[in-house]
Structure 1
């Protein structure tokens, strides 16, 4: 373009975020500032989701302050985006403050806050807020019930989830759609009710898609149900796997029980069909700079110090009873080598970097592109206890708040 304006900058920023390029959106915003254009409400609406995706709290807080000064926070839409940003940056209590101070809330406001509580594992607060919305006279929509069911799933509240799924149609005349069925399968399966989840899928009023079966397959991995995992995997293959995730899940299921040849065959099929496994990646922000790490990463300038810190932590963790869970190593190697592979998972590297560079008085927030594994979850509880630090991990599913050797998820995720 020979001539750019605020609208064109905001538009391309929004497009970048929608297509998974949040970091690019922040760079474009910087270009916009250097070009002398003043951000408007549309700019903030494009920028805040980028901050949410990257867990860029400092940038998001600046957006919040600027929106207050410019009077944008009189609009529900910008407040909703701010609530979402703080929630996804690990500051759910600030989200609630913004929510409580809103002049006018719409159904999106309530939904965003309920979703926020859900991903932070605060299901009691999520359900309490849902009840409060009903008392206020707000009519819930289908997204409200996705938020409620998802919150129940994150906390294993099977009874409550079943009640609200049935109440959708009976009390609120809302017909459940695919997203609600996915939440219910996830809820039942995560809680270990695999057979019930399987029957639930078979009784769906429409053909289940890959996402429904994937929710069940993930639980088969967690609960090591090989037979059902194989059956579900076949159904997924017939529909078309859509992504590499389902190949990885089935390979992991086989690896967890030592069926290395079967795991290798799944990976071969995956490669033959052109699906590439996404590497585990975690990032942490220090002094305004985002530092990214992949599993086994040795490319960072501070790698030597990071490695030393991880080895020191491993010694201390073992003294307190930590034992590496080798079920999460997907290769047939010796136990000692498995321990070292697990030690260099991306979130552990990011945490070690944070311990070296973030003030002891501040929590360490790590964002991960995949779900955290059981071994990392166990190890980080030890790390939080040893270092007397609050460690927050935002994985692909939810937040984990580690403090004093425990996680707020209660080891259920």
Structure 2
């Protein structure tokens, strides 16, 4: 008795100090359980503290062997809650079954216990049992049942529950209404979800977040953002839960929507990890890799540790920027934290290394995978394809099929593209035929574009044009663009003009196609047409997309424009470039001035070529890295012919391995040669 009194005094003092219950020393639990006289108050306090499972079982035994305590319904309810909270709903059910007279609270606790432990079917069975036992549901029952319907995507029971809610007059209850919105959203019934939202007279942020989540979980990112705007118009501010609701559907969207998410993120007073993850993913998926990487580094600087979702979101951005150093650092973090196996994260690592041109590193991650899905194989096939290793890509495709995986439409895009980049004409034709006849995959525009590119690169321009005319679907920009590129390479002016006419109708503001047609005319010596194209661009206000090249140094990505004078090391870069140009001329270098005819008038053509962004990026890297260190540059446009020749010579002069990734492929330069074999 003395011990019990001592414990009670200790508990009271803690309560007065407003300390959390878990601060009670565990030694008191053992002491109390050894006592012969447990009171209802003491048992209640111990159960409220949610003791560990072993202590809970001992306490349970002491309660059921005490004639007074065993009949106490309050203790039975708390035992059920404690068991469910410890992940043992079966034990909670045992307590539930032993109670002779159960009221609505017992059923609610049991349904909640099953639901919180993801045993949704069991939760719904208890719900059905209530009506059989003549127990009326209340405003605590329905939210739990609706949560079980959401978790199991059981629309039928959800609709029945909704009907019951209407019948008993609880449809305007906030918590029940929120449950209905979440249930319908999870089941993909978004009109019904919005109707349920409209029926809630006084909505809170959870109501709106449930609607946001419904759209996001069904892939409607723009609609989810529209709901966020509605919420703000109702004078409710987005919170971390709103950002979390958006995560399942973060995708490519409009610049206005990106700005809206930015504003929402910046207004958050408390930014959870999920909030950072959403913002990083938005930047990555909307072709803003610099912002994604900057935000990731800012998050790190604030001491917030990333999780697997963060890393899987930022790794593609590292790949887009060829930020290999950061990518490797993230990979080390993954190893140290033992975040793998995690297929999504491992696939992101493969993709990052592949985009940085590090095939051996990508292959190492791939070979260590315990499980490979179609994404893993497709990433490796694509990585070899864009590096010009078509035969290796084809071999990987065969291994994937041998492993028992059936290629999907994206896998066929990768292997067809690989055949195109390496001139594997017969293989590409066979794969296209196999896709349709063996796998029953209906060709999409991406497959048709690959076939046009395959034929065009191989010099079969007339055949490529005939292929387009026989397509069962209307050709899009990519299809005609592939044909126009082939016409430039193989100097086919007549078909080039036809391709360009179609492109000017489809994408009249896209400057690149005007430039390509101008180059075709220039190579044919048709200067009047070149002038006409330039005049047309001027009248329409169309400006050539500036060439941008990125190179990583340390953890910072340096960006260069053609003729860049803004970089802090511009003076040194131009001095070194002059030296290299002199050495290149000694090796027979002659500038390919044809590539400047579309956008240079009176200025010195050779001087203009000399300051293209990829040349500046390469020279900057040479000046700031150790001798023989490999250099990696990423460009936003196709590398021009002059830069291709120049960088081959620079690799020979400096004895550097230089990798340039343009919009089409990788060019690995070494000792005066390029991996593309000049087939690009």
In the superposition, the TM-score normalised over structure 2's length comes to: 0.59
Q: Report the Cα offset of residue 211 of structure 1.
A: 1.5
Asked if 1 retains the 8 angstrom alpha-carbon contact of 2:325 and 2:554, the reply is: no
Instruction: Specify the alignment match of 2:664 in structure 1.
Output: 397
Q: Give the secondary structure class of the aligned counterpart of 2:438.
A: helix
Unaligned runs of 5+ in 2: 1-267
User: Structure 1: how far apart are the matches of 2:586 and 2:601?
Assistant: 24
In the TM superposition, what are the counterparts of 1:347-386 in structure 2 within 5 Å?
Answer: 347-386=614-653
Q: Is 1:189 matched with 2:456?
A: yes
User: What CA distance in whole angstroms lies between the structure 1 residues aligned with 2:403 and 2:650?
Assistant: 43
Is the partner of 2:449 in helix, strand or coil?
Answer: helix
Aligned position for 1:235: 502
Structural mapping, 1:12-411, within 5 Å = 12-241=279-508, 243-330=510-597, 331=599, 337-411=604-678
The alpha-carbon deviation at position 320 of structure 1 amounts to 1.4
CA contact (8 A) 2:309 2:345 kept: no
Does the 8 Å CA contact 1:256/1:328 hold for their aligned counterparts? Answer: no
Q: Which sits farther off after the overlay, 380-389 or 80-89?
A: 380-389
Q: Which moved more, 1:23-32 or 1:144-153?
A: 23-32
Q: 1:332 offset after TM fit, Å? A: 6.2
Given that 2:509 and 2:542 are in contact with CA atoms closer than 8 Å, whether structure 1 keeps it comes out as: no
The structure with higher relative contact order (CA 8 Å, sep 6+) is 1
Q: CA deviation at 1:319?
A: 1.6
Deviation at 1:159, TM superposition (A): 1.1
- Which moved further from structure 2: 144-153 or 247-256? 247-256
What is the Cα deviation at residue 371 of structure 1? Answer: 0.7
User: How far has the Cα of 1:242 moved from its partner?
Assistant: 5.8
Range with bigger deviation, 192-201 or 377-386: 377-386
Greater Cα offset, 56-65 or 105-114? 56-65
Aligned-pair distance for 1:251?
Answer: 2.1
> Within 2, Cα distance between the matches of 1:162 and 1:242?
33
Deviation at 1:263? 2.4
Aligned-pair CA distance for 1:136: 1.1
User: Does structure 2 retain, via aligned residues, the 8 Å contact 1:126–1:151?
Assistant: yes
Say if 1:235 and 1:33 are closer, same or farther in 2 by CA, change over 3 A: same
Q: Which residues of structure 1 form unaligned runs of 5+? A: none
What is the Cα deviation at residue 274 of structure 1?
4.5
Question: How far apart are the structure 2 equivalents of 1:68 and 1:172?
Answer: 38
| Partner Cα separation in structure 2 for residue 100 and residue 218 of structure 1 | 36
The Cα shift of 1:306 comes to 1.6
Contact 1:324–1:375 (CA under 8 A) maintained in structure 2: yes
Deviation of the 1:56 alpha carbon: 0.6
Closer, same or farther: CA 17–267 of 1 in aligned 2, 3 Å: farther
Distance in 1 separating the partners of 2:329 and 2:441: 39
Structure 1 residues 242 and 128: alpha-carbon distance in aligned structure 2, compared to 1, 3 A threshold:
farther
* 1:109 Cα offset (Å): 0.4
2:560 alignment partner, SS class: strand
Does the 8 Å CA contact 2:628/2:654 hold for their aligned counterparts?
no
Asked if the contact 1:57–1:86 (Cα under 8 Å) also holds between the matched residues in 2, the reply is yes
Q: Secondary structure in 2 aligned to 1:412?
A: coil
Distance 1:31 1:356, change over 3 A: closer
The structure having more radius of gyration, on CA atoms, is: 2
Q: By how many angstroms is 1:268 displaced?
A: 3.4
Distance 1:283 1:332, change over 3 A: closer
In the aligned structure 1, how far is the partner of 2:419 from the partner of 2:454?
Answer: 7
Count of equivalent residues: 412
Kept in 1, the 8 Å contact 2:452–2:483? The answer is yes
